[in-house]
Structure 1
């Protein structure tokens, strides 16, 4: 990618962020953000990736508050026990635990799934939350560009390996749910199927936006497969907005300065950012309904290209090849 193209990609990402910040500020001043309230959800099991920090931590905490057995999947061993202890104390729910899962390693993802399945637990909610943002060019253990490998491909593999348990756990009138966290940067993302690894040129902004766009396309195709097979599992996307977390260390210095000085006012708190994920995971309003893009606990329209079934299908097929997953698309749709 030429320096000019990289600069354009960065400007598009920051323009989306600026627009969201203004909208969030207006909302905070006019009516504020109100935490959604849900009935207790006992005897349910949820996995939250990246649950030791930021939005993931808040999501795990809110789900635990509802009485859900929460398993935090993450790679931060050093914080894990303290995080689990704090959530247990805050929620009075002893069914909170940590299992190691490094989304930058397909081997680690497979080991996590094997460990989870050995517990013989059901799985009612999978929240694909973990991610990296604007990191320098580097690769995962398997050689994938890090945004693509961690944000997207790791969750693609994890979801597919857990689908059988989700299907067994769902029931008519009480579907299991897959909630995948994307972002408004997907609106300026461009999917290059010939260079998903950003190998010919690299822009951290473009790579990040592409990974978030891929998550939306993946979710919509997953929902189409689930619907065609008639299984009690749904898949939707949650957009948290602009949230005050630790993910901003690699962004433009001006953005870091705004966050430092005004983040408390114009950014959402991690709790506020988690509300849409929690809503997607438990609200009765979405029972049996998937393929939704949710922002501020409401359905909204994603980028028009994300509704292209052929683009969804092409990305899915390529992702199956990269992860070694069997592509059941043709079999499912009878093609």
Structure 2
């Protein structure tokens, strides 16, 4: 073949496929602004609503002109750590869920599918049983290490074989590891009543009863994980096209998955340690925002960052008042709210494609 013919063939090669366009950029920016407004309103509701309801002007005065002798102001300040934790844990779960669905190319991916929740839970149980850990600040490090170890093991298992860590192999390896870790955890819990009593309050999932001593040590890993995941939007768009096409576009698939997985582990491990295994937040929100953003992860990730904490805080606020004088943990409320919404999203179908 002559050089001229070769040049013509190369010129005629079809362009690489691209992510299908979603809504126009202007409307997406407006929707993101609306999401921020919703989050601000839910945050104010978290300060104002509870067993002792407060007016919004009282909340504002407590935040801007705090009076230590005012009981209402003290209530608002007591709710600040709980609200901040809801914002941080919700944002972490939303970002991690969106990134996990992109990496695994699995619409049902969440922290449970690759064993992160099971690894964190087993590590917490081991910390309680072996080392006598009883504080939430102690749970953080055990849960984080357990989540990281589980993610590494799953990826190594899935990487075995000719095709590497494919989405199906990741899901199968995660499910198998989760089953084994849960079995080990149950062996410990059955043999130790004291460990069971301490663990069950964390296992339900919630943001009540936490203070700054729990939140502040977790900030570095949360911020680092969020920065990593937010920077992977273009990588996730390429991975969504399939490994072969992503490689054709110059993407180093293994490196992209590894970087994104690091961010996911940091976010999921820390959020699970702080709030327990809260479900559905990282599963539903990325599906819901695709109706507004289309399949572009450069928009899905920021929307998930904003709307996931709004869902978690809303669930927590509802749980405070639904069974007065007691309250329902946020982990239970997200399941009650999230399951019907997820069924509706699945039935709606078309807008939630990856």
Q: TM-score, normalised by structure 2?
A: 0.27
Q: Higher helix proportion, which one? A: 2
Question: Of the two structures, which has the highest relative contact order with CA contacts closer than 8 Å and spacing of 6 or more?
Answer: 2
Q: TM-score, normalised by structure 1?
A: 0.29
Q: Which has the larger radius of gyration?
A: 2
